[in-house]
């Protein structure tokens, strides 16, 4: 219902838009980047093929190409087995942040790791003052510039530069401001998946608390939670 941003992971729903047996992301051996066709499916934005994550007969997921940073609106369509879907129009924004949820619904416990790398949740809450790893998308263009379909290295050669959002970031947990110690592309993941290391405020209450991230003044969805001791 809202805009999307360059590098954002998006999901499109439809009918007969992909294979009956789901296809998953692969890398192109020639480039090392995420393939732009899986299971005979391509997602096209202004004619540019998007890196593909998942494809099935009713749902496909792809990464908005970073080339879309230079356009305001774009037609989007799906090609499957040589046939093209109807086209829809989407609006592009500098940032359109969205937090990943554990159940892939966009709400409930977030895709968040505790400081000991355990999965955050009511059974494994984070200690106050500890650092949690929050995973999200929609941060928009980065510095250095994002490369469509590139896999962020787990380890980088000097000077250890990881692409970071161009837009300023603010985080709130339970309605309170929270500090972050790292904001950049998630190591080992496709460019457009961002990792945000956030410190749980020392004076925050215990329980499942709302967490929201603002990128350039654009705020992520409500309803995602982080569990705090």
What is the block-wise mean pLDDT of the chain (229 residues), using blocks of 10 residues? 93 97 95 96 97 98 95 95 94 97 95 98 98 98 95 72 91 97 94 97 97 97 97
pLDDT reported for residue 157? 57
**Could you tell me the two tokens for 80?**
């499957």
Question: Residue by residue, what is the 3-state secondary structure of 41-93?
Answer: EEEEECCEECCEEEECCCEEEEECCHHHHHCCEEEEEEEECCEECCCEEEEEC
pTM of the model: 0.94
User: In this structure, what DSSP letter does residue 187 have?
Assistant: T
| Parallel, antiparallel or unpaired: strands 112-113 and 59-63 | unpaired
**pLDDT at position 2, please?**
86
């Amino acid at each position: 219902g809202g805009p999307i941003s360059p590098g954002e992971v998006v999901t499109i729903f439809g009918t007969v838009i992909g294979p009956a047996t789901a296809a998953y992301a692969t890398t192109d051996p020639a480039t090392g980047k995420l393939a732009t066709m899986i299971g005979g499916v391509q997602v096209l934005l202004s004619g540019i093929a998007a890196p593909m994550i998942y494809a099935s007969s009713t749902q496909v997921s792809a990464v908005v190409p970073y080339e879309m940073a230079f356009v305001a609106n774009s037609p989007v369509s799906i090609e499957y087995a040589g046939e093209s879907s109807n086209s829809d129009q989407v609006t592009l924004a500098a940032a359109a942040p969205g937090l990943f949820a554990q159940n892939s619904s966009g709400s409930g416990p977030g895709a968040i790791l505790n400081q000991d790398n355990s999965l955050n949740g009511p059974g494994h809450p984070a200690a106050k003052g500890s650092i949690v790893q929050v995973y999200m998308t929609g941060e928009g263009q980065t510095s250095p510039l994002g490369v469509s379909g590139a896999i962020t290295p787990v380890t980088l050669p000097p000077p250890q530069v990881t692409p970071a959002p161009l837009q300023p970031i603010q985080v709130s947990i339970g309605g309170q401001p929270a500090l972050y110690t790292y904001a950049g592309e998630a190591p080992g993941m496709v460019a457009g998946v961002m990792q945000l290391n956030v410190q749980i405020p020392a004076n925050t209450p215990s329980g499942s608390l709302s967490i929201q991230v603002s990128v350039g003044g654009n705020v992520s969805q409500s309803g995602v939670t982080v569990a705090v001791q």
